[in-house]
Amino acid sequence: MALSDHRTKKALGQHFLHDPGIVSKIVQAVSPQPGDRLVEIGPGAGAITFPLLERHGSLTAIEFDRDLIEPLRAAAAGVGELEVVHADVLDVDLTALAGGGRIRLVGNLPYNLSSPILFHVLAHRAVVQDMHFMLQKEVVDRMGAAPGSKVYGRLSVMLQAVCAVAPLIRVPPGAFRPPPKVDSAVVRLVPRADAEIGIEDGRLFANVVRAAFGQRRKTLRNALMPICDADAIAAAGIDPGARAETVPVGGFVALANHLAASR
C-alpha cells in the first residue's frame, strides 16, 4: 500500500497535513543543522517527514499505526535514512533513544493525546534540545498565555516553568486531510537548564499548581488550604487573597520552594 492510499483513522485522531506552504514554514522553523538527531512523533503520511529527510538526510520517526510502517520505509528509499519505530510514543524511553546525546523533536500530535505526550516528553527534557509541535490552537494559546489571561492556567505554568514557549504558525483546518473542526498552530518549546528552572521539588511544585487552579474562582488562601496556610503564601511574596490566574510562574516556583524548605 502506498502512503497516498492510506485512509485516516478517526480512532487514532489522524488528520494528515497536506499544505506545502505550511510544511515549508515548519521545515524552516526547525532548520535542522549538521549533527542534529531529529525525531518525529506521528509522521502519518510523511508530509513533514520527507521534506526534513531531504534536507537533513536522516530522521527517526515514531509511529503507532502499523499500516503506515512499511509504506513509510518504502517511500524513504532514495530520499534519506529513515528509522521507523513502531510504538506508542508514551511507551518510548526518549532518554534511551537519545543514546547519550540530545534529540530535536517534531510532530503533528494527535489532539486527543497532546497533553499526555507533552508531559511525557518533558519528563525526558534533559535529552531534548527543542520541540516543534503542531497542536490545537486553543492548546497553544494556553501554553503561551501570560498571567491575567483568561486562558492562563495549569498547563501554562507547568510548561513555562521548564520551557521557553514560542507560538510560531497558525494553521487553518483546510491544511489537513480530513480537516479538523478547529484551528491548529505550531509551537516551539525549548527546555530550560535546571539552574534556570530553580524548582527544588518537582512533585511539590506540581501539587501546588494543580491545587491552585483546581477551582479557579477560589482565592489561593482557600484553594491551597490542603497544602499550606495563608502565612506560607504571604511568606513567598504572594497575596493570599489573589487568584491563581494572576500569579506569575515565578510566584508558584517561589511558593513551592518555600514549602519545600519549611518541610
Binding residues for S-adenosyl-L-methionine: 15, 17, 42, 63, 88, 108
How buried is residue 248: exposed, middle or buried, by Cβ count under 10 Å (0-12/13-18/19+)? middle
All cell numbers assigned to 224: 491551597
Q: How far is CA 177 from CA 17, 67, 152, 168, 212, in A?
A: 6, 17, 31, 21, 39
What residues form DSSP beta bridges with 190? 164
What residues form DSSP beta bridges with 40? 61, 106
Secondary structure of residue 48 in the 3-state scheme: coil
Q: How far is 116 from 41, CA to CA, in rounded Å?
A: 13
How buried is residue 91: exposed, middle or buried, by Cβ count under 10 Å (0-12/13-18/19+)? exposed
Give the CA radius of gyration of the chain: 20
Q: How far is 48 from 190, CA to CA, in rounded Å?
A: 20
Binding-site residues, in ranges, read: 15, 17, 42, 63, 88, 108
